[in-house]
Amino acid sequence: MKIERHDTDILILGTGGAGLFAALHAQQSAPAAKVTIAVKGLIGKCGCTRMVQGGYNVSLGTGDTVERHFMDTIKGGKWLPDQDMAWKLCEQAVVRVRELENEVGCFFDRNEDGTLHHKAFAGQTADRTVHKGDLTGIEIINRLMEQVLARPVEKMQEHRAIGLIPTRDGSALSGVLFIDMRSGGFRFVRAKAVLMATGGGPTMYKYHTPSGDKTMDGLAMALRAGLPLRDMEMVQFHPTGLLAGDHTKMTGTVLEEGLRGAGGHLLNGASNRFMFDYDALGERATRDVVSRGIFAEMRKNNASPGGGVYISMAHLGPETVAKKFKGMVKRCADSGFDLAGGKVEVVPTAHYFMGGVVVDADTRTAMEGLYVAGEDAGGAHGSNRLGGNGVANSTVYGGVAGDVMGADIAGMSALRDPDEAVLSAEIDRARRPLSKTPGFVNRLRHGLQEAMWDDVGVMRTEAGMQRGVTRVADIKADLMETGVAGDTLAFNLTWHDWLNMASLCDVSAVIAKAGIARENSRGAHFREDFPQEGDLDGSYYTVARQTGDDLTVTREPVQFTIVRPGETILPESEPETLVAAE
């Protein structure tokens, strides 16, 4: 098998908020170094950072402090976050937003007096979220993309990373194996430092919000490389994904949170409101609560014809809705639904993955030369990510990674040689379907998505997750015997569908097993057989690790390095919340 070989100093995987910031910072911290950025799609035009709607959490609002942001993040994560990471996230978000505004060129919405406008997402005790209308991600990524495109960074577009290749002794990372998607050829790139910022993405669920390119490739690669992954049971569901049928990619995409906040009603199949049966806040409860409410209603056979519930805005006045939620109304109209005046079917949808590679607050991993930032890294959010903390996390830690890698490579004199056996094993793995009888990969994907949705979804039980493990294993076995026509490998999407499925199956199994290992309910993880949150002081997080074909999940105690459950770092005089009650 012919492989093209290539060398660089700093290699970055992914061009979301984490990848692009890393490229800029790497250039600043090591101006002489060669920086290469490789991505599965086009630079800046894939991944989820671009899809950020609501905004970016930063404690620059009136009366807000880093301490308050930190406490909200810890409480929101139900005491599971790595506190040092959470602290750095909150502290550096302030610098990052100034950098975005002053150096990168973003313009966030202003108040009339010209100061930054902040709003409050659910779970926040201050108006903290800066935004650009409801298209914040487009502003952030377009500006970052321009900066990167204009710099002498080596660009490898439509290059899919398929394997982290260690050195022969396994002590460090040598480089990354790619498929050049346009030609279908293999390419191995050695680098002194590699940032993995491929952005997780729980797209193994029947309903999901992330962009199509995100299929857990990064975590699957890390798993094969033997790296420890934490909080893998933590999948965040957004309560209101559009429901438009199995055959359309519109299904699962987010209808924004603001709709409920503004007073939108959720109605069951019989057109009755039901959320007050589950929570005193009704539709305005937090994401996890509303998702479970909807799921419970669906299970009671109270579903709408498409199998979800309705969101109804018309009582607020169709004109008002059309004006206030222009983008959402237009998006629904494009797919044939009348959000302003009618009812639109919605369903909870997998949105964000809190779990990820175990890293320290400098983005370093257990493997020398490998750094991880953004949604691929675990720890900062614990069991639940607050709205607005996702993009803060990816941009803060992307920048940190760029700084740290730039500094670290100064001490690395030479590139490391790869373990050729691992390299060829990874190529064989990727080529496997090309020698099998072609089948229908997408049908397996539907199967996986059903299995995860049914058994490892919004509400979980031991029995269900065990069933999930078996179903996933069966589908993986089917996949291994399903082939892809390999006459032309250039831009062969079906081959990549197969590879996507392989990543999704591997990580799905870990999600289910980590879910079984957590015998309590925290944040996004809800066990019907263990509905209590358990002892907070004895909080543990799960760590999954693969050796050979064996997956082990262990529990590690949370280190309360900054604050213990029941305590706060806010001064006593500080009020509980700064957000004016509605």
Partner 1 sequence: MTNDLTESVAEQSDPLEVSVWRSAGDGGAFQAFKVPAQDSQTVLDVVAWIQQNEDPTLSYRFACRVGMCGSCAMMVNGQPRWTCRTHVRKVLDGNRIEIAPLRNLPVIKDLATDMDPFFDKWVAAEGVFHPSKSRDDAIEQINPASAPRARADAGIECINCSICYAACDSVASDPEYLGPAALNRAWTLFNDAKDDGAGVILDAVSAKGGCHACHSMGSCTHACPNELNPMASIAGLKREIAKSFFKRGKA
Ligand X SMILES: Cc1cc2nc3c(=O)[nH]c(=O)nc-3n(C[C@H](O)[C@H](O)[C@H](O)COP(=O)(O)OP(=O)(O)OC[C@H]3O[C@@H](n4cnc5c(N)ncnc54)[C@H](O)[C@@H]3O)c2cc1C
Active site residues: 238, 260
Residues 6+ apart with CB under 8 A from 548: none
Cβ nearer to partner 1, comparing 442 with 577? 442
Cβ at position 129, least distance to ligand X in Å? 8
521: number of Cβ within 10 Å: 21
User: Residue 245: which of partner 1, ligand X, none does it interact with, CB under 5 to 8 A by kind?
Assistant: partner 1
Closest chain position to ligand X (CB): 16
In DSSP terms, 35 is beta-bridged to 10
DSSP notation for 280-321: TTGGGS-HHHHHHHHHHHHHTT---TTSSEEEE-GGG-HHHH
Around 357, how many Cα atoms within 13 Å sit in the side-chain half-sphere? 35
Cβ at position 445, least distance to partner 1 in Å? 9
Residues 6+ apart with CB under 8 A from 287: 122, 236, 237, 238, 239, 257, 351, 387
User: Residue 199: which of ligand X, partner 1, none does it interact with, CB under 5 to 8 A by kind?
Assistant: ligand X
Q: Which of residues 46-85 bind ligand X (CB under 6 A)?
A: 46-49, 51-55
* Among 11-19, 275-283, 339-347, 471-479, the segment contacting ligand X (CB under 6 A): 11-19
Does position 204 interact with partner 1 (CB under 8 A)? The reply is no
- With 0-12 / 13-18 / 19 or more C-beta atoms within 10 angstroms meaning exposed / middle / buried, residue 2 is exposed
| Vertex 491: Cα angle to 487 and 496 (nearest 5) | 90
Residues 6+ apart with CB under 8 A from 283: 260, 263, 264, 265, 266, 273, 275, 290
Q: Write the interaction track for ligand X spanning residues 452-491; mark x where CB under 6 A is met and - where it is not.
A: ----------------------------------------
* Among 64-72, 83-91, 245-253, 266-274, the segment contacting partner 1 (CB under 8 A): 245-253
Q: Which of residues 516-575 bind partner 1 (CB under 8 A)?
A: none
Residues 6+ apart with CB under 8 A from 270: 302
Does position 50 interact with partner 1 (CB under 8 A)? The reply is yes
Cβ at position 47, least distance to ligand X in Å? 3
* Among 68-76, 102-110, 401-409, 549-557, the segment contacting partner 1 (CB under 8 A): 102-110
User: Residue 161: which of ligand X, partner 1, none does it interact with, CB under 5 to 8 A by kind?
Assistant: ligand X
Q: Which of residues 318-377 bind partner 1 (CB under 8 A)?
A: 331, 334-337
Map tokens 């377009």 to a residue. 142
* Among 87-95, 213-221, 270-278, 326-334, the segment contacting ligand X (CB under 6 A): 213-221
166: number of Cβ within 10 Å: 23
Size of residue set near ligand X by CB under 6 A: 41
Distance CA 349, CA 526 (A): 15
Structure tokens at 102: 């002053």
Which residue in 119, 187, 206, 214 binds ligand X (CB under 6 A)? Answer: 214
* Nearest C-alpha neighbor of 515 from the set 461, 449, 447: 461
* Among 248-256, 286-294, 420-428, 466-474, the segment contacting partner 1 (CB under 8 A): 248-256
Which residue in 490, 528, 538, 556 binds partner 1 (CB under 8 A)? Answer: 490
Please give the biggest Cα pair distance in the chain.
70
User: Residue 13: which of ligand X, partner 1, none does it interact with, CB under 5 to 8 A by kind?
Assistant: ligand X
Q: Write the interaction track for partner 1 spanning residues 207-226; mark x where CB under 8 A is met and - where it is not.
A: ----xxx-------------
Does position 217 interact with ligand X (CB under 6 A)? The reply is yes
* Separation in Å, CA 235 to CA 173, 244, 375, 497, 498: 29, 22, 12, 22, 23
User: Residue 110: which of partner 1, ligand X, none does it interact with, CB under 5 to 8 A by kind?
Assistant: partner 1
- The dihedral region occupied by 32, where left means phi > 0, alpha psi between -120 and 50, and beta the remainder, is alpha
User: Using the 8-state DSSP alphabet, how is residue 350 labeled?
Assistant: E
Which residue in 31, 32, 102, 413 binds partner 1 (CB under 8 A)? Answer: 102
Cβ at position 149, least distance to partner 1 in Å? 5
Cβ nearer to partner 1, comparing 5 with 182? 182
Cβ at position 345, least distance to partner 1 in Å? 10
User: Residue 16: which of ligand X, partner 1, none does it interact with, CB under 5 to 8 A by kind?
Assistant: ligand X
* Nearest C-alpha neighbor of 219 from the set 207, 234, 208, 209: 234
Which residue in 459, 494, 560, 562 binds partner 1 (CB under 8 A)? Answer: 494
Cβ at position 332, least distance to partner 1 in Å? 10
User: Residue 276: which of ligand X, partner 1, none does it interact with, CB under 5 to 8 A by kind?
Assistant: none
Which residue in 213, 403, 455, 506 binds ligand X (CB under 6 A)? Answer: 213
Residue 204 identity (one-letter amino acid): M
Distance CA 38, CA 90 (A): 28
Contact criterion met (CB below 8 Å) for 26 and 405: yes
* Nearest C-alpha neighbor of 543 from the set 287, 365, 352: 365
Does position 14 interact with ligand X (CB under 6 A)? The reply is yes
Residue 121 identity (one-letter amino acid): F
Cβ at position 494, least distance to partner 1 in Å? 4
Does position 107 interact with partner 1 (CB under 8 A)? The reply is yes
Please give the distance of CA 127 from its chain centroid, rounded to a whole number: 24
Which residue in 7, 65, 142, 431 binds partner 1 (CB under 8 A)? Answer: 142
Residues 6+ apart with CB under 8 A from 71: 125, 563, 568, 569, 570
Q: Write the interaction track for ligand X spanning residues 352-391; mark x where CB under 6 A is met and - where it is not.
A: x---------------------xx-----------xxxxx
Structure tokens at 300: 């009671």
Cβ at position 18, least distance to partner 1 in Å? 16
Which positions lie near ligand X, rule CB under 6 A? 13-19, 38-41, 46-49, 51-55, 160-161, 197-199, 209-210, 213-214, 217, 254, 352, 374-375, 387-392, 394
